[in-house]
Structure 1
Amino acid sequence: MTAYWISLYREITDEAKLAAYAQLAGPALTGAGGTFLARGMPEQTYEAGEATRSVLIEFDSVDAARAAHDSPTYQEALAALDGGAVRDLRIVPGV
């Protein structure tokens, strides 16, 4: 079953660290089978929506998304981020 990796950036505290993370994370996640479906700032928010950077990545399964997160290449990207952003990351199964 398809799964979705959803990242919401509540606060970016260091643009340079975020850029270093992005340079490593993109290839790590696509190399693990992820497909970027959306990323950037919202065009519109409703209800309690916050105007925060959002990223949506599709994986073949929850297990594939977990494996991508836990992979050494993605862990290297996280080390580069090193507190450069406050994020909410979740993996949600498709329906």
Structure 2
Amino acid sequence: MAKGYWVSVYRTIFDPEKLDAYNKLAAPAVAAGGGRVFVRGGKTVAHDDGIAERVVLIEFDSFDQAVAAHASEAYQQALDVLSGGVERDFRIVEGVED
């Protein structure tokens, strides 16, 4: 079964306090949904039209698990706190099967 991934690229962080509050709620929601954080910020080299602000990569055991974690009440509460604090490109993608 292919794994699922959350890929989030932040274009702009308007309100760092909202982002901090979101992170406090999102981290336990992600863990409860079975997610494992592989990348959270850190160094970035962007090419072409890429953005080098903040990148987050989270792995789940399956695509369906990744979708369910995003839909969870706990994660939705985190999103409510983040509202208007950032502009980001968020995707849930299916990994390559071995």
Do the aligned residues in 2 keep the contact of 1:41 with 1:52 (CA within 8 Å)?
no
Do the aligned residues in 2 keep the contact of 1:8 with 1:54 (CA within 8 Å)?
yes
CA distances 1:1-39 after superposition (whole Å, capped 9, x unpaired): 101110011111111111000000011001110000011
Unmatched tracts of structure 2, length 5 or more: none
The letter of the residue matching 1:48 is: D
| Matched-pair identity in % | 52
Aligned residues: 95
| SS of residue matched to 1:24 | helix
> How far apart are the structure 2 equivalents of 1:42 and 1:88?
18
Runs of 4+ in structure 1 over 6 Å off: none
Show the counterpart of 1:80.
Answer: 81
| SS of residue matched to 1:51 | coil
> How far apart are the structure 1 equivalents of 2:21 and 2:69?
18
Task: Give the drift of 1:41.
Answer: 4.0
Show the counterpart of 1:17.
Answer: 18
Length-normalised TM-score, structure 1 = 0.94
Mapping for residues 1-95 of structure 1, pairs under 5 Å: 1-95=2-96
Task: Give the drift of 1:84.
Answer: 0.5
| SS of residue matched to 1:50 | coil
CA distances 1:27-81 after superposition (whole Å, capped 9, x unpaired): 1001110000011043322222211200000001111011000000000101111
| SS of residue matched to 2:5 | strand
